[in-house]
Chains A and B, each alone.
Chain A
């Protein structure tokens, strides 16, 4: 078993479309990750560098709303402005969700969109605050999306030192206890959160060769990584814990500069345990909960040979026959929703006019019901990979309910189920699904039955 255009689109993309042809070979799939980012251009999402001005503006309004020097009217106006900024961020955030969905529906380079989702999940981050909570899309746009086809270390550095990650994992509150700031602010000190997750989740993996001592040393090394809404990411020398640190037996730093932080991240990115961890995680995500050892080994070897050149690792996966075999994983809800809309050819003309209320009702709430609230996994470990996390009664009920609501959602009765079964599943559609499509009482039920069929539920 090797490359197959249908599988290329279903297992490594967001499913079949009646309008967009699947890739013709592995080269095309890989090229699709490197070429100009057409989807980002057609369906823009505000980058964080612009987004953070909203946070700064809200802070100014908040301060004014509490200022003793201002009249009551001026304070009330500032309060109203503060609220309006938060509200607009929330609503615009829903708009970016629609954009992200449209990219999945309209893409000719589905593998790229899947990779963007995979790495966005690997580097899960969301802000905790009235405005910054809407900042995940902007963060991904800036830290993850431009780095899908480079070296793992560049992706790692972009994500880990990004303001949103610093906020999410409390690095922006961590200061060296013996730093200039630490000595002036008793009671404040080190926060290990980011250091721990970098080792456990982002690089070496939970079974990796590190100790609590390494976590602590890395946390000390990370002191100084900070950001402000006005300036973005910055390095705060006054927060840096003095002296060098030892991580995995190697000595770093000594001077309060960002260079040793980048150096340790590059070393961690190239570590053999990281190669193993990333190869395993990609294979689990794209192929199976228990991927073949041989497939993982091939990817791991390429990772090590190339110093973490991501396209080389992707290619090792796509060239391996095991990547194309087996029944495939259960789609996560976002992929289920995206591939359904893609199969139904829910064109931008349908989705683009949706306001935040429609997006909320048609996408955000249904995804919550299915168990995958948009950009809100519970922890920094992102969404579960195991099928069992998704084949829950609640999850399946959410999928069925949404599939049955499609005529209202799309404002049309939907396609003829007998034709739709061919579009959604291709020529290999199981006979039972063809039968159900023929025998259904209504278009609504026929389309829902096709989308709920195991053949469509799996990648």
Chain B
């Protein structure tokens, strides 16, 4: 049992640093119910509108190269997916996943959001999973998905990173953790913290789990000396660049354990200028996160995992005047994991001829991004279609089963 092993490790470490672990309220409050499922789901929000036409390039479309003379300059056969689409060079490291049929894309998807093309509204709608914003926004679809599922605890779902994500917000309990939290205390400090917290069991329990999590996410809480503590306090910014990898590592750690669902976001997709450079960075980050997750989860858990990466909208078909692209409509989503029936680009391709575009400028959406997410959840967790179409994504028509999940 992975969980038992982790607990014991912590108790040993805690004992080694001098915590009176057995009797300590700082290490005892965590209790774990059986997880409701064995499969895993990771939802990654790509904030800023990923250019789906650049990430998954439709080389087979005669109008593609003409619309993007700068961006679509060279076609590399090593990045070919299915003879029609090809990956962006910054995603080259994902080709082995594609060949192993553990990576899929869906083209020409969008939320029901149209025309105003605001990041704020677009992301709200994507995370709320609703049809429009006129009724207000309170909770996210990932949280509503948990409603009515037996055995769900706060440990089932992790929202990871610094931000409060609407996606996982709502009535159902969800854990939050940001691996950039860095606690550093002396052994004496830990002992005294435990003592002062004793007066308040609720605070003591939260503090105990905080110490556990902080100790598990990359560097130990115990500081050797004051200098170590200062380095730690000042280190946040230096490590910031690698933040996405810390998030991936923490996600894998939790999913190997009691967690079944994790969500986080990757930013940097708003590539209005010099997209040739600016898009490579977040794509590389996404690629690194996926590979790191696969590594961290191990073959067995990866085999039960579905990763869904989605963005608020796509970008204009044509390049703009600053070698970038502007806010559009239809875009792409990516799926990865051993549970995914990969090696395919899903979705109906509408074509890039001007008459086929939305507003004569954007990729025409041919399916609702929520439907694919719904099928991924149905495949992973066996959720009822009715629950998905009324509670999780109100008003959604899931349509025929695309066979996304093995």
Contacts and interface: CB of A to CB of B under 8 A. Distances in A.
B190 to A, nearest CB: 10
Contacts of A440: 188-189, 192
Contact of B169 (A129, A170, A192, A378): A378
B57 interface: no
Contacts of A393: 175, 177, 206-207, 209-210, 212-213
Contacts of B74: none
B214 interface: yes
A89 interface: no
Nearest to A400: B183
A334 to B, nearest CB: 14
A369 B196 contact: no
B176 A371 contact: yes
B207 A396 contact: yes
Nearest to B226: A442
Interface string A335-374: 0000000000000000000000000010001001101010
B181 A439 contact: no
B356 interface: no
Interface stretch (A141-149, A152-160, A256-264, A429-437): A429-437
A391 B192 contact: no
Contact of A170 (B134, B178, B183, B212): B134
Nearest to A445: B189
Contacts of B366: none
A153 B50 CA distance: 45
Given A378-B169, A449-B192, A368 B118 contact: no
A387 B237 CA distance: 31
Contact of B203 (A376, A394, A405, A454): A454
Contacts of B278: none
B239 interface: no
Given A440-B189, A445-B189, A454-B197, A405 B233 contact: yes
Interface stretch (B11-19, B91-99, B135-143, B383-391): B135-143
A445 B133 contact: no
A395 B206 contact: yes
Interface in B120-157: 120-121, 133-138
B195 A193 contact: no
Contacts of B197: 452-454
A163 to B, nearest CB: 17
B322 to A, nearest CB: 9
B186 interface: yes
A391 B181 CA distance: 16
B269 to A, nearest CB: 17
B134 A401 contact: no
Contact of A404 (B121, B178, B229, B237): B229
A408 interface: yes
A375 interface: no
B183 A380 contact: no
Interface string A282-309: 0000000000000000000000000000
Given A392-B176, A432-B195, A449-B189, A193 B138 contact: no
Interface in B153-182: 162-164, 166, 169, 175-178, 180-182
Contacts of B311: none
A196 interface: yes
Interface string A390-419: 011111111011001100100000000000
Contact of A433 (B138, B196, B202, B203): B196
A128 B120 contact: yes
Contacts of B344: none
A387 B202 contact: yes
Contacts of B226: 442, 444
Given A379-B137, A440-B188, A453 B214 contact: no
A441 interface: yes
A457 B203 CA distance: 9
A371 B164 contact: yes
Contacts of B118: 128-129
B184 interface: yes
Interface in A7-21: none
Contact of B186 (A379, A441, A452): A441
B234 interface: yes
A448 B203 CA distance: 15
A56 B120 CA distance: 20
Of B118, B136, B233, which is in contact with the most chain A CB atoms at under 10 Å from its CB? B136
A197 interface: yes
B161 to A, nearest CB: 10
Contact of B196 (A190, A376, A454): A454
Contacts of A371: 164, 176
B162 A397 contact: no
A196 B206 contact: no
20 contacts: A193-B133, A361-B237, A376-B164, A391-B203, A392-B206, A393-B210, A394-B181, A396-B206, A397-B181, A400-B210, A401-B181, A408-B230, A440-B188, A440-B189, A442-B226, A452-B196, A454-B197, A454-B200, A455-B199, A457-B200
Given A378-B169, A395-B206, A432-B195, 19 more contacts: A128-B118, A192-B134, A193-B133, A330-B203, A369-B181, A388-B202, A391-B205, A391-B206, A392-B175, A392-B206, A393-B209, A396-B210, A404-B233, A432-B198, A445-B188, A449-B192, A454-B199, A455-B199, A457-B200
Interface of A: 128-129, 133, 169-170, 190-193, 196-197, 330, 361, 365, 368-369, 371, 373, 376, 378-381, 387-388, 391-398, 400-401, 404-405, 408, 430, 432-433, 435-436, 439-442, 444-445, 448-449, 452-455, 457
